């Protein structure tokens, strides 16, 4: 390990990229300490402390604590992710965007530009909604969360939060271009792991105060290591499709005649389906919180979409499955792959080239995606189950009967403290693996050993 770090530091370009990445992340963390003007920071901090474990607590964790402190980066990178979702959905149904996608680098730049415009528009809408919500939300003990409510506060909040989101988006793009790894993913990663030291310190304090049993902490630690190991195992899992290339003579040279493998990942979409599902569920929750507070039956329906309610868990699971298939269909086109294989004389043994190959690839990928989407849904809901159970008692009509029939560990959970939510855990492990893999690639290009000598980060046979 020490030799690997020495190799990294001995390569000027790689050293410069790593230092640049750390510098940008440091700027992001500094900006996360600058509060939005006009907010009662103490009252807001107390309010979010009461919301721990709710959907607001989840959003605060996802934003790295910026929402709870109402800093200039309170919106984080979520408007950019939402704009990306909308653009990718429109790419499927709008021929103009579909044509841009096929134009290569030029089309990609235009789509990126449209995504930036969409990010600004969504930031303005979300910042206005946040300003309205803070003004109307009573704080602990009746304290006001806003010092001087009114039009001036709304305009200042819109300007501050929109500018902050645009700046975070720019920071992410700078990391992608000049640093190591995907900038947007690393910013989300930094926002999540920044609270880990505090969580560890809090757990140690609970053990010292006898609030938490040391044996329970050790069991939880072993369980977390097991979950992380399972995530790493599945993320590396592949189905390797054998592809044979026929021999062909061009001039005086002979090409082909070799056998290769087409790797199809078990979880092709990575953590993107979970992020998409979380973002989509945040929309009806936000609308319901502002529009349905005065209508009793609509308020009851909206309550079912609260964090950790049965309808929320069901919709979360189904949306993860949907977006796993949707995102996989965007990034992998079996027809194009089959056409390219046929064009260069490649074929899958026992499968006719062309349309039949495309159907075979689509069938294999569909089965893999189903298993991968179920895995994503289980991991995303696992921490919720451990902390507070499935909360089936909140179901209308049949809820009380189910609550009495099912065991307590299903309905009420195990009551353990699990800092990372399912989404957060997938993001942390996935981004860490991708970043390590990129560093490995940079080292191997320069004939250096990576972090794992003799066992490079690669897919495993499916």
Q: What's the token pair of residue 6?
A: 């020495």
Q: Which residue has the tokens 């920044």?
A: 194
Assign 262 a pLDDT band (cuts: 50, 70, 90). confident
- At residue 138, the pLDDT reads 72
- Least confident range of 16-25, 52-61, 307-316, 321-330: 52-61
- At residue 152, the pLDDT reads 87
Percent of the chain predicted with pLDDT > 90:
9
- At residue 416, the pLDDT reads 59
> Residue 422 in contact with residue 274, Cβ under 8 Å?
yes
Q: Do the first three CATH levels of 1-194 and 237-418 match, i.e. the same topology?
A: yes
- At residue 159, the pLDDT reads 92
3-class secondary structure, 330: helix
How far, in Å, CA of 134 to CA of 144, rounded?
9
Q: Distance from first CA to last CA of the chain, Å, rounded?
A: 29
How far, in Å, CA of 361 to CA of 355, rounded?
10
Q: What is the DSSP letter of 393?
A: G
> Which DSSP string do the residues of 394-405 spell out, in sequence order?
GSTTTHHHHHHH
Q: Indicate the class that CATH gives domain 237-418.
A: mainly alpha
Strand partners, 146: 39
How far, in Å, CA of 421 to CA of 59, rounded?
11
- At residue 417, the pLDDT reads 58
The pLDDT tens digits of the residues spanning 13-70 come to: 888 888 898 999 889 888 888 888 888 777 777 777 666 555 565 666 666 667 777 8
Supply φ then ψ for residue 125, to 5 degrees: -65, -50
Strands annotated E in 84-216: none
Is 60 exceeded by the pLDDT of residue 367? yes
**pTM of the predicted structure, to 2 decimals:** 0.75
Q: For the chain, what is the mean pLDDT? A: 78
User: Which residue ranges make up each domain of the chain?
Assistant: 1-194, 237-418
The pLDDT tens digits of the residues spanning 417-457 come to: 555 556 677 778 878 888 887 777 777 776 655 555 554 44
Q: Which residue has the tokens 């921490």?
A: 383
How far, in Å, CA of 442 to CA of 450, rounded?
9
- At residue 56, the pLDDT reads 61
- At residue 62, the pLDDT reads 61
The pLDDT tens digits of the residues spanning 385-415 come to: 776 677 777 677 777 777 777 777 677 666 5
- At residue 461, the pLDDT reads 42
Answer whether CATH 1.10.3370.10 is correct for domain 1-194. yes
- At residue 321, the pLDDT reads 92
Strands annotated E in 167-274: 238-245, 248-250, 253-255, 259-265
The pLDDT tens digits of the residues spanning 140-178 come to: 666 777 778 888 888 998 999 999 999 999 998 898 888
CA distances from 119 to 89, 192, 253, 277, 396 (A): 15, 21, 52, 18, 38
How far, in Å, CA of 124 to CA of 131, rounded?
11
Assign 462 a pLDDT band (cuts: 50, 70, 90). very low
Q: What's the token pair of residue 215?
A: 């044996």
How far, in Å, CA of 316 to CA of 320, rounded?
6
- At residue 420, the pLDDT reads 57
How far, in Å, CA of 280 to CA of 165, rounded?
19
3-class secondary structure, 205: helix
Higher-pLDDT residue of 380 and 213 is: 380
């Amino acid at each position: 390990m020490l030799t690997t770090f020495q190799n990294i530091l001995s390569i000027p370009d790689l050293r410069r990229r790593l230092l640049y990445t750390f510098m940008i992340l440091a700027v992001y963390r500094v900006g996360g300490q600058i509060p939005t003007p006009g907010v009662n920071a103490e009252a807001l901090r107390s309010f979010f402390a009461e919301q721990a474990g709710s959907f607001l607590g989840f959003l605060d964790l996802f934003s790295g604590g910026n929402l709870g402190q109402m800093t200039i980066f309170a919106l984080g990178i979520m408007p950019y992710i939402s704009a990306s979702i909308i653009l990718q959905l429109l790419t499927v149904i709008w021929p103009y965007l579909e044509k841009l996608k096929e134009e290569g680098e030029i089309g990609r730049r235009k789509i990126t530009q449209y995504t930036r415009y969409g990010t600004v528009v969504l930031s303005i809408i979300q910042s206005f909604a946040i300003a309205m919500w803070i003004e109307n939300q009573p704080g602990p003990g009746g304290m006001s969360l806003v010092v001087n409510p009114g039009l001036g506060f709304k305009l200042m909040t819109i300007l501050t939060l929109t500018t902050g989101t645009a700046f975070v988006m720019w920071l992410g793009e700078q990391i992608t271009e000049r640093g190591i790894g995907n900038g947007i993913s690393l910013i989300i990663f930094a926002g999540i792991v920044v609270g880990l030291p505090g969580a560890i310190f809090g757990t140690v304090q609970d053990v010292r105060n006898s609030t938490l049993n040391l044996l329970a902490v050790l069991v939880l630690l072993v369980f977390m290591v097991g979950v992380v190991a399972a995530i790493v195992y599945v993320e590396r899992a592949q189905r390797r499709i054998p592809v044979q290339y026929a021999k062909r003579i061009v001039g005086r040279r002979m090409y082909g005649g070799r056998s290769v493998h087409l790797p199809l990942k078990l979880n092709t979409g990575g953590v993107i389906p979970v992020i998409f599902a979380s973002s989509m569920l945040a929309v009806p929750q936000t609308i319901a919180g502002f529009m349905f507070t005065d209508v009793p039956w609509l308020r009851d329906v909206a309550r079912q979409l609260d964090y950790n309610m049965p309808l929320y868990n069901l919709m979360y699971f189904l949306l993860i499955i949907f977006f796993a298939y949707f995102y996989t269909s965007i990034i992998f086109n079996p027809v194009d792959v089959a056409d390219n294989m046929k064009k260069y004389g490649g074929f899958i043994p026992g499968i006719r080239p062309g349309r039949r190959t495309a159907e075979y690839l689509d069938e294999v990928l569909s089965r893999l995606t189903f298993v991968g989407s179920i895995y994503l849904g289980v991991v995303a809901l696992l921490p919720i189950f451990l902390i507070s159970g499935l909360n089936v008692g909140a179901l209308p009509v049949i809820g009380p009967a189910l609550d009495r029939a099912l065991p307590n560990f299903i309905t009420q959970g195990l009551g353990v403290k699990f800092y990372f939510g399912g989404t957060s855990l997938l993001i942390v492990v996935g981004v860490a693996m991708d970043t390590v893999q990129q560093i490995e690639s940079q080292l191997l290009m320069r004939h250096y050993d990576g972090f794992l000598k003799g066992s490079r980060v690669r897919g495993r046979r499916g």
